[in-house]
Amino acid sequence: MKDIKLTTRIVLIFAFAFASLANTSVAQERPATAPINLVAGVGGPVSSSTQWENYSALNLIAGAFIFPAVSSVKTTVLYIGFTAGTEADIGNMVLYTTKRGNYKISAVTPVKLKGVSNPIISLTNKKVCPTQPISVSNPCVIRLDPITLSPTTLSDYYFVMYLGSNSNNASVGAANAQYPITSLTGWYLSNDQTQLKVGNSIPSGYNGTHPYFLLYVMNN
């Protein structure tokens, strides 16, 4: 009986995790199999922040909070969320890797959507965001392209997304965690923070607040 109870519990956990994803407006087709959380993503309702013209959102995926069971994962997929706006003009997206607890960049990995790191996302297009209009109650979640990366608890990862100097980005709303039910944290800085190289340091300003745009880190 113990084995039956444990299996049921695991199924319920995965079902809850995927249900939270299915209840939002996913911009791309869902994976054939339910994705597995690599960290504790944003749970519960989201809040919103706007005025993203010429700002970078920096999000920490801390190695200390990566689930140990994901050591065999071959790909990492980031999901970002929007709550307002008509068009998001992304200037660039990258993932910086550092040693755990260190700010010196050891690797820079491009992050892409449909093959490009500077996509234009039409937030009013029902093929992109099926539930219109998007809002805090109906956030639009975008599944970014898979990254060939096996996350390790010995490293920290910083997902940085820059929204260019474009008036469209002034009305873009970032989906933020309304409650601290996540291991993801973040901050924001003006100008393009995606051009750093190996050996540079992660920009200062981190204050441990909620993530900006980044909602989930999964294997698919």
More confident residue, 181 or 2: 181
Band of residue 16 on the pLDDT scale cut at 50, 70, 90: very low
In sequence order, what are the residues at sequence separation of 6 or more whose Cβ sits closer than 8 angstroms to the Cβ of residue 190?
A: 54, 55, 56
| pLDDT score of 19 more than 70 | no
Q: pLDDT by residue (tens digit) across 88-143?
A: 999 999 999 999 999 999 999 999 999 999 999 999 999 999 999 999 999 999 99
What is the predicted pLDDT for the residue at 96? Answer: 98
Instruction: Measure CA 59 to chain center.
Output: 8
Band of residue 179 on the pLDDT scale cut at 50, 70, 90: confident
Per DSSP, which regions of 100-184 are E strands?
105-110, 120-122, 140-143, 147-148, 155-163, 173-177
Band of residue 26 on the pLDDT scale cut at 50, 70, 90: very low
What is the predicted pLDDT for the residue at 44? Answer: 84
- The C-alpha angle 95, 204, 90, rounded to 5 degrees, equals 40
Q: What is the mean pLDDT of the chain?
A: 87
Helices marked H in 23-160 — which ranges? none
| pLDDT score of 165 more than 90 | yes
pTM of this prediction?
Answer: 0.85
Across 203-218, average pLDDT? 94
Whether the CB-CB separation of 217 and 35 falls below 8 Å is answered with no
- The share of the chain scoring above pLDDT 70, in percent, equals 85
Whether the CB-CB separation of 211 and 28 falls below 8 Å is answered with no
